[in-house]
Structure 1
Amino acid sequence: MSEQLRRRTLLLTSGALAAGAVLGGGTAPAAALTGPVADARIAEILRRIRPPRFPDRWFDITKFGAVGDDATDCTAAIRAAIEACHRAGGGHVVVPAGDFRTGAVHLLSDVDLHLKAGSRLAFSQDPAAYLPVVATRYEGTECYNYSPFVYAYGQRNIAVTGSGVLDGRADATHWWDWTGGPPPNEGPDKTLLLSMAQAGVPVEQRVFGDGHYLRPNLLQFNRCENILLDGITVMDSPMWNIHPVLCRNVTIRGVTVDSPHGPNNDGIDPESCTDVLIERCKISTGDDCIAFKAGKDADGRRVNVPARYAVVRDCEMADGNGGVTAGSETSGGVMDIYVRDCRMSSPRLERAIRIKSNPQRGGTIANIDVRRVTVGQAADAVIEIVLNYANVITGDFPPDVHGITISQLTAAAAPRALNLLGLVDDPLRDIRLQDCRFDGMEEENSIQYVEDLRLDRVWINGVRVDN
């Protein structure tokens, strides 16, 4: 950073603070959490999170007719093994080493789907393998659509564990081609679904699936309790990879998401979930690595359930639009999210910490606390908080973003440290950076409509820029 650029960054920061004081509307911001208070909150959350445990019963899918030859359709055999395990009172459904072709896998209560080393569930590329339609959430809006590849609805005590692979087998000619280009594609169906939600059409009448082009998730648990994902690898999903929705008590541990090439291929997206632990995961995606969501626009406000009480710790992120993200589906609110001891770096990692919404989404985004994050390389701003997502700057539901604390973050190289953009009538409030260091920054910060931005022991290219 040149001396002239350094001075412009300092002036822009102080100017944004002055503008925020004028534009804040007189509302006192809620204070960001202090370190000891945040640590106590984390301890409370972790005390509530308990992974499910399963009886010592084992059901090998090959005993029910599955063949790991990468050719035989094993859908019925896997279903039979899950049903037998559930009827027996629970246990483990075992996928041994081999390549098992399958359609939709629906889990039932008290069942752990356990993938042994060398196993792969190779999911069908035929959309008909994911019918009949099921209740789901598509980009924050409820509907009936193709089943997610691994799915559960209203179940308790469920898990997918082991060191095997869930391979979505999406590519440029299967699933991903629905995102754009010549018809048919998902565009008209997305517009139709949003218009149905806006008009208040009952969810039971929002039926897509056959003849439509809304892509399913690789793994979605909907309205479930006591969930464990441990050790597995997921790859090449049609869209979002791991998507718990309206769930409680979720542990995602030691999971690898290897899906950097697909569109909207978010890694782990807890949506409207409570008590979530994500730890020791490795994520490389074509979109956000971890994104906390809470429903979109009118339908998100109808359901009105926040994403709340989550801990992300000791994870590694490579490719992605954002390392840890809140949004853009924020209508139910995203609150009390704690990020600790994560490492992020890639020439294709656009941002490390990202909060995104707009005045059509609404929702409260508050008490986001990030500590000890190491960023090697990012392709855009290291930290981005913006309220103009998708270039929307007007609407009746301005988000309330306040109480964001980022401390002990270091970054080695990126175009800029901060991109903070509130709106004229809806400023960002109470944003605190403490003990952070940004080296190798090429451009000035971009800061507009921020009220009470505090920089305490913050260095940019070796220059302390506190205010």
Structure 2
Amino acid sequence: MKRTTLLLAAVSFLWTAFCVELRAQTDAVIPTADQVGAACMPDTIAPIHAPFDMPQLMRPVFPDYTLTLTKRELKKAALVSVPIQKAIDETSRRGGGTVVIPAGVWHTGRIILKSNVNLHLEEGAELHFSGRVEDYLPVVFTRSAGVEGMSLGAFIYADGQRNIALTGKGRLVGPERDCAILKQNIGYGDFDKYIAYDKPATERIYDGHDSTAVFLPTFIGPINCRNVLIEGVSLEKSVFWNIVPTYCDSVIIRGVTVNSVGIPTGDGMDIESCRNVLIEYNTLSTGDDSFTIKAGRGIDGLRVNRPSENIVLRHNLTLTAHGGITCGSETAGMIRDVYAHDCVFQGTNVGIRFKTRRPRGGGGEHLYYERIRMDLKATAIHFDMLGSSTYVGALSGRVPMKRDEFTPVYRDVHIRDIIVERASCFLKVAGIPESPARGVHISRVESSTDKLMLINDMDGLTLEDAVLQSPDDAVDITDGRNLHFRRVTFRTPTGAVNKHIEGALSENIRFTDCRFEVQP
């Protein structure tokens, strides 16, 4: 008896030591809000280290030629997009260089970037974009919410260009909410009613003629471009998503500040079917998701079939937002090889989110997250694969269906070294019955949340070396299989976990070397 008591005491001591060590190590390596974001951006770009093959991205280099627009010539123009565009075109034709916008408040329409040109905004320069449809015509090739067509494009647009940049400490300001563009918007939930999927994208024209609908323009939207740099600028009052590179290769976005709080669909950054992307030292406060990776939507996304891959996000700060880092819900071309590290979500709703829908296709795989600190209003880690009936009708239900080419997957997800200071729930999984979330590995976590976890339709979870504290002791699992909880301390008011396990497919759910403590 004495020997047993000593053994238990030794085990308790070692476990307590492990928990203390875990807290000390995680605190030591996981950044705080004052260590990340645009205010902390260094001048140099540090080497990129990722758990997959990733090139070392460098800023594009521009010829030593500068064309500075004068305040006098800008004041003569009703919209400064005319002299700015002339300067960009001239600089590109002569081989490239930098076009400088001086300090001042300038009203503008669409600006189109050209190869080998850096559009630089001096500190104090403000570009205020028009809300009139005619200031963004003729229509250009674009992709909106994962669907191709011909419409307004972006406030700052480029197509098929190489070595382009938007830099400086200036501000980009969108139009007022009662503008004509917003009144003629194709609503996000109405896409399938408007899009003629049987026509080529070049014949899907949405120009607003006779008050017909338009695709909302993004704020900054390069498409089919290579070697893109967006650095230092601030964006506010967008009408739609803010920074949206599409079909681009070698993109760097750093030191950017976005404020779209209160704007529906006001995503901060949406990486659409791009590869080799570095996103670092940005500060985002948004009306929708913050940092988002997408790859096309449904029929059109599968037709294009271009993935988003080789994407690194580091040293970013998310404040107000629906999601800190989100994959999806447009997933048709696949999202793969994403590495997010050393980020902070402060006051965000959901922390790490994986979204898709039954008719979206594709999915995500080889996704890595580490050294992330969260102070949240909602869930820390959320797999939302079914969506709501508002957008997909009966397809949002848990009734199993036959798999087809539109059935998405999420698999091979790795999350470690996480501190959740506050959240409503640690883990929520709403998988698809015929395509459950698979192969998820979560380790080295310290979490304090209102609820522990709710898991529906998951095959393969390892949660280890974690301390989970909650005033609710319920662990709800429906049709979960191959779930392994190892070396996890659960701290609840009862000193136990109340396991609710349901569903004919639930099996192989193990708790190994776990501790159950009374919440202090």
Give the alignment's TM-score, normalised by structure 2: 0.76
Q: 1:106 maps to which residue?
A: 112
Q: 1:369 maps to which residue?
A: 368
Identity %: 33
Q: Secondary structure at the match of 2:350?
A: coil
Contact 1:317 1:344 in 2 (8 A): yes
Contact 1:72 1:100 in 2 (8 A): no
Distance in 2, matches of 1:173 and 1:128, equals 12
Distance in 2, matches of 1:168 and 1:268, equals 16
Contact 2:452 2:468 in 1 (8 A): no
Distance in 1, matches of 2:117 and 2:271, equals 21
Q: 2:67 maps to which residue?
A: 59
Unaligned runs of 5+ in 2: 1-47, 390-394, 471-487, 491-510, 513-520
Distance in 2, matches of 1:187 and 1:278, equals 26
In structure 2, do the counterparts of structure 1 residues 221 and 174 end up closer, same or farther at CA, with 3 Å as the change threshold?
same
Q: 2:10 maps to which residue?
A: none
Q: 1:207 maps to which residue?
A: 205
Q: 1:399 maps to which residue?
A: 408
* Aligned-pair CA distance for 1:189: 6.1
Distance in 2, matches of 1:255 and 1:233, equals 6
Are residue 132 (structure 1) and residue 123 (structure 2) matched? Answer: no
Match of 2:100 among 89, 94, 103: 94
Q: 1:5 maps to which residue?
A: none
Q: Structure 2 matches for 1:150-299, cutoff 5 A?
A: 150-173=156-179, 175-176=181-182, 186=187, 190-194=191-195, 196-197=196-197, 200-210=198-208, 211-299=212-300
Deviations 1:226-250 (A, max 9, x none): 0000111111111000000000000
Q: Secondary structure at the match of 1:319?
A: coil
Q: Structure 2 matches for 1:13-52, cutoff 5 A?
A: 41-42=50-51, 44-47=53-56, 49-52=57-60
Unaligned runs of 5+ in 1: 1-38, 180-184
Are residue 442 (structure 1) and residue 441 (structure 2) matched? Answer: no
Contact 1:42 1:311 in 2 (8 A): no
Q: 1:380 maps to which residue?
A: 378
Match of 1:412 among 406, 413, 421: 421
Distance in 1, matches of 2:408 and 2:333, equals 10
In structure 2, do the counterparts of structure 1 residues 214 and 453 end up closer, same or farther at CA, with 3 Å as the change threshold?
same
Q: 1:83 maps to which residue?
A: 89
Contact 1:64 1:80 in 2 (8 A): no
More strand by share: 2
Deviations 1:256-301 (A, max 9, x none): 1111121101001110000000000000111110110000000000
Deviations 1:96-153 (A, max 9, x none): 1001111000011001000010001111121210111100001000000113100000
Distance in 1, matches of 2:234 and 2:91, equals 23
Q: 1:324 maps to which residue?
A: 325
Q: Secondary structure at the match of 1:66?
A: helix
Q: Secondary structure at the match of 1:149?
A: strand
Contact 2:131 2:179 in 1 (8 A): no
In structure 2, do the counterparts of structure 1 residues 359 and 405 end up closer, same or farther at CA, with 3 Å as the change threshold?
same
Distance in 2, matches of 1:98 and 1:53, equals 27
Distance in 1, matches of 2:202 and 2:55, equals 36
Match of 2:461 among 448, 453, 467: 453
CA RMSD, 1 decimal: 2.0
Q: Secondary structure at the match of 2:299?
A: helix
Runs of 4+ off more than 4 Å: 172-179
Structure 1 counterpart of 2:61, one-letter code? R
Distance in 1, matches of 2:320 and 2:173, equals 19
* Aligned-pair CA distance for 1:214: 2.6
Deviations 1:175-221 (A, max 9, x none): 45556xxxxx6369623444x22xx3111111002221431111100
Structure 2 counterpart of 1:360, one-letter code? P
* Aligned-pair CA distance for 1:305: 0.5
Distance in 2, matches of 1:95 and 1:308, equals 34
Q: 2:388 maps to which residue?
A: 390
Distance in 1, matches of 2:365 and 2:67, equals 45
Contact 2:291 2:326 in 1 (8 A): yes
Distance in 2, matches of 1:299 and 1:225, equals 23
Q: Secondary structure at the match of 2:269?
A: coil
Deviations 1:319-347 (A, max 9, x none): 1111101000000000000001001111x
Q: 1:6 maps to which residue?
A: none
Contact 2:356 2:363 in 1 (8 A): no
Distance in 1, matches of 2:202 and 2:344, equals 42
Which structure exhibits the higher relative contact order, with contacts defined as CA atoms closer than 8 Å and separated by 6 or more residues?
1
Distance in 2, matches of 1:328 and 1:389, equals 9
Q: Structure 2 matches for 1:300-311, cutoff 5 A?
A: 300-311=301-312
Are residue 351 (structure 1) and residue 376 (structure 2) matched? Answer: no
Contact 2:52 2:337 in 1 (8 A): no
In structure 2, do the counterparts of structure 1 residues 459 and 260 end up closer, same or farther at CA, with 3 Å as the change threshold?
same
Q: Secondary structure at the match of 2:434?
A: coil
Distance in 1, matches of 2:103 and 2:352, equals 38
Distance in 2, matches of 1:374 and 1:225, equals 33
Distance in 2, matches of 1:245 and 1:63, equals 33
Q: 1:22 maps to which residue?
A: none
Contact 1:132 1:147 in 2 (8 A): no
* Aligned-pair CA distance for 1:50: 2.3
Q: Secondary structure at the match of 1:362?
A: coil
Contact 1:244 1:269 in 2 (8 A): yes
Match of 1:422 among 422, 431, 435: 431
